[in-house]
Structure 1
Amino acid sequence: MAFTQELQVILFKPQGSIDLQGGKALSEQMAGVVPQAYQLWVIDLAEVNFMDSSGLVPLVKGLKAARQSGCRLVLCNVQAPVRLILELTQLDTVFEIFNTYQDIFTNVKDDSLMLAD
């Protein structure tokens, strides 16, 4: 008997700056989601124009929580100033980063987005 688990996408869209205050707000949003295996957590950074080192904390914590729960966390629409911070800290090699939200679904193999047992 085949069972297919459909993808459940959880979208986070922070705005403005992810600094101490903005990072706290993002952390609270992510903490409000009960992680379930096979979820895809998307952090859309299209409207984030600044991030400092304190803003990295919720991203890393979110990635850790997602992985521990069998979820996948990706970033998309990363603006140049934020990408620079990720590159300087070498976190651009830790996170999956997509140019657009649509790229998450078009540039990835279908079997990585849909899991069959």
Structure 2
Amino acid sequence: MILTPELQVILFKPQGSIDLEGGKALSEQMTGVVPQAHQLWVIDLVKVNFMDSSGLVPLVKALKAARQSGCRLVLCNVQPPVRLILELTQLDSVFEIFNTYEDIFTISKDNSLVLAD
């Protein structure tokens, strides 16, 4: 995969808990962005220390919208409590998850090099 100049990165940085209230806030934020082909949606979870099942809803909806529009949606900096929820629901195999924001641009899902222009 080659990242081209027309790639637009959309960064979401939720904080605190992604529960019913936090999930609604994230969903509203994400609804404000119209997904377009060649966009990369990054959800940086570095400051999210808790997620429950209602918090998964906006993530799954965003992934569905991104895929339908030809976008790529990835998660990064997933904290252990959130990772546990993703693993228990087996969504860790559905989402692309990277350890850091920088890893998104240096490795792909199959660990091959990604070239950035």
Tell me which residue corresponds to 2:56.
56
**Counterpart contact for 1:5–1:38, Cα < 8 Å:** no
Any unmatched runs of 5+ in structure 1?
Answer: none
C-alpha offsets along residues 59-80 of structure 1, whole Å, 9 cap, x if unaligned? 0000000000000000000000
Aligned mates of 1:104, 1:69 — CA distance in 2:
20
Divergent runs of 4+, >4 A: none
**In 1, Cα distance between the equivalents of 2:114 and 2:100?**
17
TM-score, normalised to structure 2, is 0.89
User: Which protein has the larger Cα radius of gyration, Structure 1 or Structure 2?
Assistant: 1
Q: Which residue of 1 aligns with 2:70?
A: 70
Displacement of 1:54: 0.1
Please provide the CA RMSD for this pair: 1.4
Structure with the bigger percentage of helix: 1
Match of 1:36 in 2: 36
Identity score, percent: 85
Contact 2:66–2:73 (8 Å) recurs in 1: yes
CA distance, structure 1, for counterparts of residue 82 and residue 75 of structure 2: 11
Give yes or no for the alignment of 1:97 onto 2:97.
yes
SS at match of 2:25: helix
TM-score, scaled to structure 1? 0.89
CA distance in 2, matches of 1:68, 1:40: 13
Q: Does the aligned pair in 1 maintain the 2:107–2:114 contact within 8 Å?
A: no
